């Protein structure tokens, strides 16, 4: 589905792919609304890794559109607004891509 390189700015064609699949770069608004209304129980996050673990858990239970919108928005954050990112951030996006692929298979 998506060829992943180690640097997010080398993800050639990623925005066009996401738009073609019907996803929106919505600044994570659809995910925030989903999280706010979710009844899923989460452990309190005491670190950035735990916060991302909670996000992944929520995305595993979200619908396809929310996952795609979140992925697109978060990729955009890293490539346009974040001052830096590390390999864990890239791995985080890879995990979201895996969730998205699993949701496509289930459709």
Q: Distance (Å, rounded) from C-alpha 11 to C-alpha 64? A: 21
Q: What is the pLDDT of residues 20-42, one digit of tens each?
A: 999 999 999 999 999 999 999 99
Q: Which tokens belong to 93?
A: 């996006």
CA 53/CA 19 separation, integer angstroms: 26
Left if phi > 0, otherwise alpha if psi is -120 to 50, otherwise beta: which for 89?
alpha
pTM of the model: 0.85
Domain map (residue ranges) of the chain: 12-106
Q: Can you list the residues of the chain whose pLDDT is less than 70?
A: 1-11, 107
């Amino acid at each position: 589905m998506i060829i992943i390189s180690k640097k997010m700015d080398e993800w050639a064609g990623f925005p066009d792919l996401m738009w073609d699949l019907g996803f929106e770069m919505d600044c994570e608004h659809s995910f925030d609304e989903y999280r706010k209304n979710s009844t899923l129980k989460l452990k309190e996050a005491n670190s950035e890794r735990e916060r991302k673990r909670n996000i992944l858990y929520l995305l595993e239970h979200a619908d396809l559109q929310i996952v795609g919108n979140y992925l697109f928005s978060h990729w955009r954050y890293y490539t346009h607004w974040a001052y830096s990112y590390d390999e864990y951030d890239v791995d985080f996006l890879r995990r979201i891509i895996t969730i998205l692929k699993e949701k496509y298979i289930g459709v």
